[in-house]
């Protein structure tokens, strides 16, 4: 069973306490209640909270077992340090680890310049940690090079939404608005496994008569409930969007009144679309033209119609253009800003949304302010009490930071809440990049593959061990309360940031007694920005089951729906931008005839450093596999008992395989939650989107051969 609904909790028992929290994993941030055996400091039961509107009592198998991380035997409980980068790690005191790290960072910067030190953050960190990490990089470390793993995640969608809407909030409406939709097109999103409670919302919408269209080259668990399945070849979604728009135009589905009132730039986009049709779409995508016409027809007829994209559409070297093409479609249909209709992107990480709002992205300052905008620089510098000229400028993106480590331009790095040794593309090169650094520090609560390349490891606290806020898939900021004590010497990320800032001589800018004080500063600094949190505080968040931004003053109830009346551009209108269809960076050829794509399974989370340690999750799936279409497996005569070798221009991996009855024939799919020899990122490529700098995780040319005598 993937989802469970637990009974409401009542009563009080001696020796036990309860606390409200949110799940440690994905962007839904399901509200959970945990029961604690206080003497043992152990969570003994977990419930999904029925009173919370995003999950309504639901939680998935990861949330139900998230507490098993808390007392896990593998937890890091003491800072680790080693001589050089090869020797054994020793447990050391916090002072020793922090002193050593500060000294290493300073030495590298003295010799190679301020920007030779980099910070690599993550979308699982709280808003408080993210805000402080961005401030730390610019004010204490004085480097321009800070970026985070969200670059691998939401960056293409964020860039396209900014262009069209003037702002980027994954969903610009509360999740429950899905229940109002009459037609939903999901592109490259497997919500049944990745955001399971949304599957329940989709089913409920279908019960009310909504049609669900799923575009995915695989027969995913999500497409099982689809009313219409489109199976584009990986990397062809922009062509699908263009063909759909051409059909909407041809079928008279353009809402001209809406465009005249609310949109600019539509004439050239519609004129361009007239040069295409469903037949052309079929040629590029492999989706039968009749299905493309039918999908367009449903989007026109069954309104409100809603288009949602996931990483399948976005993690491409043309991800921004692809998302843009779907936004153009949603605007042409006249749906964005209407209840139950429009466009949205399904954010992935627990704080993927807040993670990019508050300053750990190379080009942004808190509140989505831009680091290259003079007025934004002045506002933030003033709020921080520094000179504008001392604020570093835009730095490198995540993948470019790793590339710079490989070439030697970056010499020292602090990774906080990411495991790029597993999750970055072109893994062999990334391993070199990490070991090439003269100094690497990693903050994590479990020893990760990235820790293996570190000289210092800081033991972090888990979600249930420290207060902090997260901003979920809807743009709702929620407060997570601590309910258990951290093990050993484990310390919250924000405290480590403060400790290092003090040692770098910037302590006065980092004088915070607790996370609430950090949040209050964050709220003040974002006043007047696009992601305005200035009307939020901890008690208000708790009373209101979270608050949607912008929330610009103490009496403001937060903004659930962003585009009801206006978009965020100065003229209040949305913009269409003409995008042409492009090929993927690597197309299949004779040597590499298939399209390798990658993604997720329900039971594991991202690089797997957390979920590969949880027994029930490992019992469900312990190994990666390659999913092959039944037709292809028959054509190649694959033997069910034997492994296969998957090869691309960057490497080879030997894997178990399974056949999928319905799957686009050229598609090979591998989940990426494993490191070492089984890591599919040994095969993926570094082609980056020119705007978002997103790597092309979702398609590269590959070959597949049967292994010799190796039994599974």
Ligand X SMILES: Nc1nc2c(c(=O)[nH]1)N[C@H]1C(S)=C(S)[C@@H](COP(=O)(O)OP(=O)(O)OC[C@H]3O[C@@H](n4cnc5c(=O)[nH]c(N)nc54)[C@H](O)[C@@H]3O)O[C@H]1N2
The residue ranges that bind ligand SF4 (CB under 6 A) are 23, 25-26, 28-30, 55, 59-60, 62-63, 195-197
Residue 360 sits in the site that holds ligand X (CB under 6 A)? no
- List the one residue from 599, 624, 651, 675 that touches ligand X (CB under 6 A): 599
- Of 60 and 248, nearer to ligand SF4 (C-beta) is 60
- Cβ(141)–Cβ(355) under 8 Å? no
- Cβ(272)–Cβ(324) under 8 Å? no
In which element (H, E) is residue 617 found?
A: helix 615-620
- Of 55 and 324, nearer to ligand SF4 (C-beta) is 55
Residue 255 sits in the site that holds ligand X (CB under 6 A)? no
* Strand positions, DSSP E, 223-351: 228-230, 263-264, 305-309, 342-345
- Cβ(410)–Cβ(145) under 8 Å? yes
- Cβ(611)–Cβ(617) under 8 Å? yes
Rounded CA separation 542/51 (Å): 13
Rounded CA separation 165/344 (Å): 11
Q: Quote the least distance from Cβ 490 to ligand X, whole Å.
A: 10
Tokens at 348, concatenated: 């992935």
- List the one residue from 218, 356, 377, 575 that touches ligand X (CB under 6 A): 218
Tell me the backbone φ, ψ of residue 290, rounded to 5 degrees. -65, -35
Residue 66 sits in the site that holds ligand X (CB under 6 A)? no
Q: Which residues neighbour 218 within 8 Å (Cβ) at sequence distance 6 or greater?
A: 231, 627, 660, 663, 664, 667, 669
- List the one residue from 349, 452, 515, 559 that touches ligand X (CB under 6 A): 349
Residue 168 sits in the site that holds ligand X (CB under 6 A)? no
Residue 170 sits in the site that holds ligand X (CB under 6 A)? no
Residue 194 sits in the site that holds ligand X (CB under 6 A)? yes
Residue 445 sits in the site that holds ligand X (CB under 6 A)? yes
Binding mask 493-512 for ligand X (x = CB under 6 A): x-------------------
Rounded CA separation 373/311 (Å): 29
- List the one residue from 61, 153, 212, 422 that touches Mo ion (CB under 5 A): 153
Residue 139 sits in the site that holds ligand X (CB under 6 A)? no
Residue 448 sits in the site that holds ligand X (CB under 6 A)? yes
- Of 97 and 254, nearer to ligand X (C-beta) is 97
Residue 189 sits in the site that holds ligand X (CB under 6 A)? yes
- Of 530 and 604, nearer to ligand X (C-beta) is 604
What does DSSP say about strands 651-660 and 642-648: parallel, antiparallel, or unpaired? Answer: antiparallel
Residue 141 sits in the site that holds ligand X (CB under 6 A)? no
Residue 149 sits in the site that holds ligand X (CB under 6 A)? yes
Q: Which residue has the tokens 């990397």?
A: 235
CA-CA-CA-CA dihedral for 2, 214, 341, 353, to nearest 10: 60
Q: Quote the least distance from Cβ 89 to ligand SF4, whole Å.
A: 31
Residue 355 sits in the site that holds ligand X (CB under 6 A)? no
CB-closest chain residue to ligand X: 348
- Radius of gyration for the alpha carbons in the chain, expressed in angstroms and rounded: 24
User: Among the candidate windows 291-299, 349-357, 420-428, 617-625, which touches Mo ion by CB under 5 A?
Assistant: 349-357
Binding mask 554-593 for ligand X (x = CB under 6 A): ----------------------------------------
User: Among the candidate windows 132-140, 152-160, 474-482, 535-543, which touches Mo ion by CB under 5 A?
Assistant: 152-160
- Of 277 and 493, nearer to ligand X (C-beta) is 493
Residue 348 sits in the site that holds Mo ion (CB under 5 A)? yes
In the sheet where 16-22 sits, what is the strand order? Answer: 16-22, 31-37, 42-48
- Of 463 and 548, nearer to ligand SF4 (C-beta) is 463
Rounded CA separation 612/658 (Å): 21
59 binds, among Mo ion, ligand X, ligand SF4, none (CB under 5 to 8 A by kind): ligand SF4
Q: Quote the least distance from Cβ 654 to ligand SF4, whole Å.
A: 30
In which element (H, E) is residue 524 found?
A: helix 515-525
23 binds, among ligand X, ligand SF4, Mo ion, none (CB under 5 to 8 A by kind): ligand SF4
Helices and strands (H and E) in the chain: how many: 23, 30
Angle between helices 319-332 and 266-273 (to 10 degrees): 100
Residue 697 sits in the site that holds ligand X (CB under 6 A)? yes
Q: Quote the least distance from Cβ 9 to ligand SF4, whole Å.
A: 17
651 binds, among Mo ion, ligand SF4, ligand X, none (CB under 5 to 8 A by kind): none
Binding mask 95-124 for ligand X (x = CB under 6 A): ---------------------------xxx
CB-closest chain residue to ligand SF4: 63
Residue 380 sits in the site that holds ligand X (CB under 6 A)? no
Of 346, 400, 407, give the one whose Cα is nearest residue 189: 346
- Cβ(698)–Cβ(597) under 8 Å? yes
Q: Contacts by 514-523 with C-beta closer than 8 Å and gap 24+?
A: 514/467, 515/126, 515/128, 515/466, 515/467, 515/468, 516/467, 518/128, 518/131, 518/132, 518/494, 519/127, 519/128, 519/469, 521/131, 522/127, 522/128, 522/131, 522/358, 522/366
- Burial of 174 (C-beta count, 10 Å sphere; 0-12/13-18/19+): middle
Rounded CA separation 298/290 (Å): 12
Binding mask 451-470 for ligand X (x = CB under 6 A): ---------x----------
- Of 20 and 29, nearer to Mo ion (C-beta) is 29
Residues in contact with Mo ion by the rule CB under 5 A: 153, 348-349
Given the rule CB under 6 A, which residues bind ligand X?
26, 122-125, 149, 152-153, 187-190, 193-195, 215-218, 220, 232, 234-235, 237, 310-313, 315, 348-349, 416-420, 422-423, 443-446, 448, 460, 493, 597-600, 602, 604-607, 609-610, 669, 672, 680-681, 684, 697-699
């Amino acid at each position: 069973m993937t989802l469970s609904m637990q009974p409401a909790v009542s009563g009080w028992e001696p020796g036990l306490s309860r606390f409200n929290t949110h799940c440690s994993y994905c962007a839904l941030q399901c509200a959970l209640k945990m029961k604690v055996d206080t003497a043992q400091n152990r969570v003994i039961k977990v419930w999904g909270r029925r009173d919370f509107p995003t999950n309504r009592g639901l939680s998935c198998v990861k949330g139900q077992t998230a507490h098993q991380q808390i007392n896990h035997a593998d937890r890091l409980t003491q800072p680790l340090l080693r001589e050089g980068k090869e020797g054994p790690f020793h447990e050391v005191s916090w002072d020793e680890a922090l002193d050593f790290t500060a000294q290493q960072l300073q030495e590298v910067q003295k010799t190679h310049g301020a920007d030779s030190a980099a910070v690599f953050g993550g979308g699982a960190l709280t808003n408080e940690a993210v805000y402080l990490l961005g401030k730390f990089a610019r004010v204490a470390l004085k480097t321009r090079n800070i970026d985070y793993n969200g670059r691998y995640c939401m960056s293409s969608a964020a860039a396209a939404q900014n262009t069209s809407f003037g702002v980027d909030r994954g969903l610009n409406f509360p999740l429950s608005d899905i229940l109002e939709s009459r037609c939903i097109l999901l592109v490259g999103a497997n919500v049944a496994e990745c955001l399971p409670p949304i599957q329940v919302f989709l089913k409920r919408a279908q019960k009310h008569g909504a049609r669900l269209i799923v575009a995915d080259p695989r027969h995913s668990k999500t497409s099982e409930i689809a009313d219409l399945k489109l199976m584009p070849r990986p990397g062809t979604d922009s062509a699908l969007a263009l063909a759909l728009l051409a059909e909407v135009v041809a079928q008279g589905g353009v809402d001209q009144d809406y465009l005249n009132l609310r949109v600019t730039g539509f004439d050239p986009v519609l004129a361009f679309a007239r040069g295409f049709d469903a037949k052309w779409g079929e040629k590029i995508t492999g989706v039968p033209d009749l299905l493309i016409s039918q999908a367009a027809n449903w989007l026109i007829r069954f309104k409100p119609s809603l288009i949602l994209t996931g990483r399948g559409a976005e993690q491409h070297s043309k991800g921004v253009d692809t998302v843009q093409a779907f936004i153009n479609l949603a605007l042409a249909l006249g749906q964005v800003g209407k209840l139950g209709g429009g466009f949205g992107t399904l954010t992935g990480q627990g704080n993927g949304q807040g993670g990019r709002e508050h300053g750990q992205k190379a080009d942004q300052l808190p509140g989505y302010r831009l680091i290259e905008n003079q007025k934004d620089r002045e506002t933030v510098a003033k709020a921080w009490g520094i000179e504008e000229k001392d604020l570093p400028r835009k730095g490198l993106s995540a993948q470019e930071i790793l590339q710079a480590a490989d070439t030697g331009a970056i010499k020292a790095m602090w990774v906080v809440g990411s495991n790029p040794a597993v999750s970055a593309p072109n893994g062999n090169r990334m391993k070199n990049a990490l070991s090439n650094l003269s100094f690497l520090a990693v903050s994590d609560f479990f020893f990760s593959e990235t820790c293996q390349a570190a000289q210092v490891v800081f033991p972090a606290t888990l979600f249930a061990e420290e207060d902090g806020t997260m901003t979920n898939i809807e743009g709702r900021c929620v407060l997570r309360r601590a309910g258990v004590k951290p093990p050993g010497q484990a310390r919250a990320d924000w405290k480590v940031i403060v400790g290092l800032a003090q040692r770098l001589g910037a302590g006065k800018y980092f004088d915070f007694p607790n996370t609430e004080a950090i949040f209050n500063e964050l709220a003040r600094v974002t006043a007047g920005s696009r992601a305005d949190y200035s009307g939020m505080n901890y008690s208000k968040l708790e009373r209101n089951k979270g608050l949607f931004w912008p929330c610009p003053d103490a009496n403001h109830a937060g903004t659930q729906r962003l585009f009801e009346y206006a978009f965020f551009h100065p003229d209040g209108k949305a913009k269409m931008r003409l995008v042409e269809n492009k090929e993927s960076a690597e197309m299949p050829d004779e040597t590499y005839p298939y399209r390798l794509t990658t993604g997720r399974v329900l039971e594991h989370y991202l690089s797997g450093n957390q979920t590969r340690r949880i027994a029930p999750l490992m019992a469900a799936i312990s190994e990666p596999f390659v999913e092959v279409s039944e037709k292809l497996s028959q054509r190649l005569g694959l033997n069910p008992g034997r492994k296969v070798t998957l090869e691309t221009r960057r490497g080879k991996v030997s894997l178990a395989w399974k056949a999928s009855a319905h799957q686009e024939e050229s598609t090979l799919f591998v989940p990426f939650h494993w490191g070492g020899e089984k890591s599919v990122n040994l095969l993926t490529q570094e082609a980056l989107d020119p705007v978002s700098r997103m790597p092309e995780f979702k398609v590269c040319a590959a070959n597949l051969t049967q292994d010799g005598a190796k039994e599974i």
